[in-house]
Amino acid sequence: MKTFCFLVLALIAGCGTLAPVEPTTVVLGTATPGGGFELYGRNLAEVINEADASLKIEMRATRGSAENLPLLEAGKLDIGLVEGNAARTAFDGVDRPKTTLRIVAAMYPGPGMFVVRADSPYRSIEDLKGKPVAFGTPASGLTKLARDVLDGLGLVPERDFQAVFLDKAGDGPAFVLNGKVAALWGGGIGWPGFTKVAAGPGGARFIVPTADETRRIQAKHPHLRSMTVPAATYAGQDAPIHSLGLWSYVLARADLPEDVGYRLARAIHRGEAKLAARLAQGRYTTAANTASESPRAELLHPGAARYLREIGDLR
């Protein structure tokens, strides 16, 4: 009996000396400073870290979607933010092999638009032809979206505009405000570039395809979806804006362990209210949207799919 008690006491004493379990580090690829992905990624990381102490999100600035995809495929990132059009071409193998990356969460819709100063004479895409226009960074998914939208109208940025490509997404608003460019292309709800121009002296005006141009664009690029930016999303915007775009995603490397994907999805969706309170675009990051906006169920990461089934958002 004395031997038994001694062993029990030894076990209890040993348990008291166990080192705390280190959290799982997850490397998140975002984009260049001043853009929508950097802003969203920073807030997403904070929400996940608050929701699950077993996870530690480390942000890594990248050049955007076009760099995040190969970094994820090479295992140099664990998760990354990828614009919808870039994700689509990777999933479908358009001009590249099909990717094995998987969706952890749907982020938000990304309708593409041009922004000009409110005192600008330009009111249509036709008006912008031949003018200096900032199209974002070369590796940005939004830049790819611009190419598809304009291609539907028979236009090419380098040929039909004085195309300006940025080193950092955050440079674009100042170029519009100081007159270096006539317009800036961007997209999404709460996009930082649009927010800054709209808050500038005199405000902003947004330029999107007309109804006829939208039909022409979708006839050539049917993958582009009609989307709406709600009224009052940006300062001085008193009416909804209708344009074209796709949803962006949080993607994971193919071999991210199922348990890690499960914990990420659970933390993201348990933190939905906090993310929505931080960002206008954050209110779109919901479990229901992750289930409904993933192009195909098999594209969901197994851990994310397991969590969505547990809470009843995925059959």
Domain boundaries, the chain: 23-109+248-310, 110-246
Residue 168: closest CA among 135, 132, 200, 136: 136
20 band by pLDDT with thresholds 50, 70 and 90: low
18 band by pLDDT with thresholds 50, 70 and 90: low
Joined tokens for residue 175:
């170029």
Start-to-end CA distance of the chain, whole Å, equals 55
Count CB atoms within 10 A of the CB of residue 284: 21
Task: Collapse the DSSP code of 215 into the 3-class scheme (helix H, G, I; strand E, B; otherwise coil) and give the result.
Answer: helix
Q: What is the pLDDT of residues 56-65, one digit of tens each?
A: 999 999 999 9
Fold of 23-109+248-310: D-Maltodextrin-Binding Protein; domain 2 (3.40.190)
7 band by pLDDT with thresholds 50, 70 and 90: very low
Please tell me the pTM assigned to this model. 0.88
Q: What is the pLDDT of residues 274-311, one digit of tens each?
A: 999 999 999 999 999 999 999 999 999 999 999 999 99
Do the domains 23-109+248-310 and 110-246 sit in the same CATH topology, yes or no?
yes
What pLDDT does 21 receive? Answer: 76
Joined tokens for residue 27:
């490397």
What pLDDT does 11 receive? Answer: 45
Handedness of CA 303, 309, 313, 315 (dihedral sign): positive
Q: In angstroms, how far apart are the furthest CA atoms of the chain? A: 93
**Is 195 a residue whose pLDDT tops 60?**
yes
Contacts of 159 (CB under 8 A, 6+ apart): none
What pLDDT does 45 receive? Answer: 98
3-state secondary structure 2-48: HHHHHHHHHHHHHHHCCCCCCCEEEEEECCCCCCHHHHHHHHHHHHH
- 26: β partners: 57
| Mean pLDDT for the chain overall | 93
10 band by pLDDT with thresholds 50, 70 and 90: very low
What pLDDT does 31 receive? Answer: 95
What pLDDT does 83 receive? Answer: 94
Domain 110-246 coded CATH 3.40.190.10: yes
